[in-house]
């Protein structure tokens, strides 16, 4: 029989990873909600940030959390560059073009990482990688707790930015009605660039904070984009709150299914939930049905 302490540990682990998944999914759904582009390379941006954080730690001894002062502006700039060079030209194109171009970007990033680092799994060991704090019978892993705390704080900051600032309101206006936003003087092109850059930076933040307890290879991006897509659809494409709820839910499902069923079936159960949601509530848990 599974003890209460083991169940509590699994729930905690699920919430911690769910918070990180939510941050990744929010970056993904922000880009989709504003530009109407499904960025299949989003998971590989997480992978890229993991490698940059890994290099900074191995070469310069910079702690993953300290490296955020380098990683975040670097990837915000990378997002702006990718938008200008790759994405801007396909904003008005059919969704099939969006898919082909972003899949091409995915393959480019994956092969670039494979060229420089090879296919081996790599990781770092910090002073807190294996440290835990005991709360009764439950051990709280500090590395995962830190990643969850940073992720949730970032989600809160992003939500406040979108609701309270003039730029955030402009982003929401462009997402709701591009033509109407342009008519009232909003520079829609600038809004799209900033939204894509913010989405890229969210992916980078998630990638950096999981390096202390996760292994990185050129191929880890696939799992991240699959999770981000499922969470975004589950919560409602374009909904930041929905992505947070969906991320926490998927994290819990993944942890509990590993405990009671099998870790190898975790993804199958996640996709089973996606199918049920698409059948009975295709606009997502917190999304709005479109007429």
pLDDT value for 113:
97
Return the pLDDT at 138: 82
Domain spans of the chain, in order of start: 4-280
Q: Which residues contact 181 (CB under 8 A, 6 or more apart)?
A: 170, 173, 174, 188, 191
Q: Is the model's pLDDT at 134 over the cut of 90? A: no
Could you read off the pLDDT of 258-291 as tens digits, one per residue?
Answer: 777 766 677 788 888 888 888 888 877 776 655 4
Euclidean distance between CA atoms 200 and 42, whole angstroms? 7
Residue 139: per-residue pLDDT: 83
> Looking at residue 290, what is its pLDDT?
52
Over residues 236-252, the pLDDT tens digits come to 887 888 899 999 999 99
Comparison of pLDDT for 132 and 135, the residue scoring more: 132
Closest among 238, 217, 162, 195 to 46, alpha carbons compared: 217
Query: In the predicted model, what is the mean pLDDT of the chain?
Result: 91
Query: Angle CA(67)–CA(68)–CA(70) in degrees, nearest 5?
Result: 70
Residue labelled with tokens 């396909």: 90
Arithmetic mean of pLDDT, 209-225: 95
For residue range 66-119, list pLDDT tens digits in order.
Answer: 999 999 999 999 999 999 999 999 999 999 999 999 999 999 999 999 999 998
Q: Of 2.30.30, 1.10.3470, 1.20.140, 1.10.246, which CATH number belongs to 4-280?
A: 1.10.3470
């Amino acid at each position: 029989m599974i003890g209460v302490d083991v169940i509590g540990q699994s729930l905690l682990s699920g919430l911690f990873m769910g918070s990180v998944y939510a941050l990744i999914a929010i970056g993904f759904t922000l880009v989709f909600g504003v530009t109407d582009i499904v960025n299949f390379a989003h998971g590989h941006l997480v992978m890229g940030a993991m490698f940059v954080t890994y290099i900074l730690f191995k070469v310069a001894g910079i702690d993953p959390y300290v490296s955020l002062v380098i990683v975040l502006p670097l990837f915000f700039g990378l997002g702006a560059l990718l938008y200008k060079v790759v994405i801007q030209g396909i904003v008005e194109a059919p969704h099939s073009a969006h898919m082909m171009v972003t899949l091409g970007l995915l393959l480019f990033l994956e092969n670039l990482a494979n060229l420089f680092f090879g296919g081996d799994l790599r990781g770092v060991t910090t002073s807190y990688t294996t440290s835990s704090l005991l709360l009764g019978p439950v051990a709280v892993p500090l590395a995962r707790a830190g990643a969850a705390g940073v992720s949730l704080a970032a989600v809160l900051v992003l939500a406040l930015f979108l609701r309270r600032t003039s730029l955030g309101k402009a982003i929401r206006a462009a997402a709701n009605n591009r033509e109407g936003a342009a008519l009232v003087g909003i520079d829609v092109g600038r809004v799209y660039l900033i939204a894509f850059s913010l989405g890229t930076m969210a992916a980078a933040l998630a990638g950096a904070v999981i390096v202390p307890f996760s292994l990185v290879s050129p191929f880890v991006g696939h799992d991240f984009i699959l999770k981000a897509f499922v969470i975004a659809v589950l919560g409602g494409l374009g909904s930041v709150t929905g992505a947070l709820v969906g991320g926490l839910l998927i994290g819990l499902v993944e942890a509990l299914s590993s405990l009671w069923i099998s870790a190898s079936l975790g993804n199958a159960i996640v996709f089973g939930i996606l199918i049920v949601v698409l059948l009975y509530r295709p606009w997502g848990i917190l999304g709005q049905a479109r007429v």
